[in-house]
Amino acid sequence: MNKYLFFLPAVTLIFLCAACSSFNSPEKIVKLNTAEQSELIIAAKNTLLKMPNYKVSNTDKRYIKNNAPHFRVRYTGNKKGKYTIRWEIPSGLTLQVFGKGDLLDFKESFEKISIVTIKVNNSKK
């Protein structure tokens, strides 16, 4: 029995070192590359422009087609997460596309579109 007590601290130390090393080295999350981000943005843009219940002027549509949106993603796994794609249009509209899940599958991750009108006051006092 006494000879096993000698090995107990050594085994405990090895176990603790192994446990601590797993906490110090988190898995690296695989993010979207530039081409995949572009595909997601294009899918969002096409969906936004083709939705019949959103009345966006032709000028605003041209702005969306020709300007890069603000793109933000919070990763929850390899190429998975929550994203927001937002255009702030000079006419005072903010158009946003939200989604979560598999970022490579837009149809599955797409959640909603919102259009926010910001009142712009150009009058001088």
Q: Which of 102, 93, 114 is nearest to 47 (CA)?
A: 114
Residue 56 pLDDT > 90? no
Residue 1 in this model has a pLDDT that exceeds 70: no
For residue 125, give the amino acid letter: K
Q: Determine the pLDDT at residue 27.
A: 74
Q: What is the pLDDT of residue 120?
A: 53
Predicted confidence at residue 92, as pLDDT, reads 83
User: 94: helix, coil or strand?
Assistant: strand
More confident residue, 78 or 17: 78
Q: Give the predicted TM-score (pTM) of the model.
A: 0.68
